[in-house]
Amino acid sequence: METDKYITKPIVYYDGQCGFCTSFVRFLIQTSKAEQRLSFIPYQVVTASVPAELMVVSSNTFSEAGKAAIKVLNDTGGIFKIPAFILKLFPGKLLDKLYYSFARNRYRWFGQSSCVIN
């Protein structure tokens, strides 16, 4: 893909209306060098329909759901590599099942927030 050469760091698409998602992105930015390594963009900036998946797009890879969560934690570095390592131990199907269970309930557990553009 010709446009891939213009992606300088992975882009993380997250649900900007999810209370957990926006709080966690802010936490990562404030407590680590995540913003130097990753670009964070709420889905709502790109599209009105919000999928349940977290997505990470880089020049040569595309990750979603549980694998994307692992990539975000791993790419953030530091202490965040520990939960990334633990999540890698889960079989793929189990990780996806846990991820989608969390995704289905995220608004109920953490509420909704207004979309914030970082």
Q: What is the pLDDT of residue 1?
A: 42
pLDDT of residue 118: 47
Are β-strands 62-64 and 55-57 bridged in parallel, bridged antiparallel, or unpaired? antiparallel
pLDDT tens column, 89-105: 999 999 999 999 999 99
Q: Whole-model pTM?
A: 0.81
Most distant CA atoms of the chain, gap in Å:
41
Percent of the chain scored above 90 by pLDDT?
47
Mean pLDDT of 66-93: 94
